Amino acid sequence: MSPGLRFIDNALLDEVGVEARQSPRGRKNRNFHSADDCPAHRLLNAIEPGSYVAPHRHLDPHKDETMIVLRGRLGLVIFDEAGGVLRTAVLAAGADSFGVDIPHGSWHTVLALDPGTVFFEAKAGPFRALTAAERASWAPPEGDAAATPYGEWLRRLFPR
């Protein structure tokens, strides 16, 4: 086999899914890029129901973000500048809608609707922590006591 060649198969999805279930945050990523300063970031994100991804945006014009669901169901929420919900979508492996390309500057969050949800993500590098202008002032940050009820409100946007 060629050095560095990695297959994305069910065994890998199972492995990263187990890591997400064992993580206190309820999610885990598996990077295919070798370092945070790489110009292209490609990764698997495994996320479990109840994991909270604070609404955010990427202001860098090179940081459009593409997500393709490989397993499970992912809820996507797009917000306006004040935190009002503009759009929701369910992305599901094997469904008509299984991915999204989010333009830079768009307020968004995702949440797992099924256990074992895994999606592939691609965006430009290098990695930079979100700035204050990229964090939603109208939503609680991860770890805040208000994040749990806010996350539950987000979940109710996706009735079964």
What pTM value is reported for the model? 0.95
SS3 at position 133: helix
Domains located in the chain, CATH noted: 10-156 (2.60.120.10)
**What pLDDT shows up at residue 14?**
97
**Residue 5 pLDDT:** 86
Phi, psi of 134 (to 5 degrees): -100, -10
Phi and psi of 108, rounded to 5°?
-155, 165
Residue 160: predicted pLDDT: 80
- E strand or H helix that includes residue 5: none
Is the pLDDT assigned to residue 1 strictly greater than 70? no
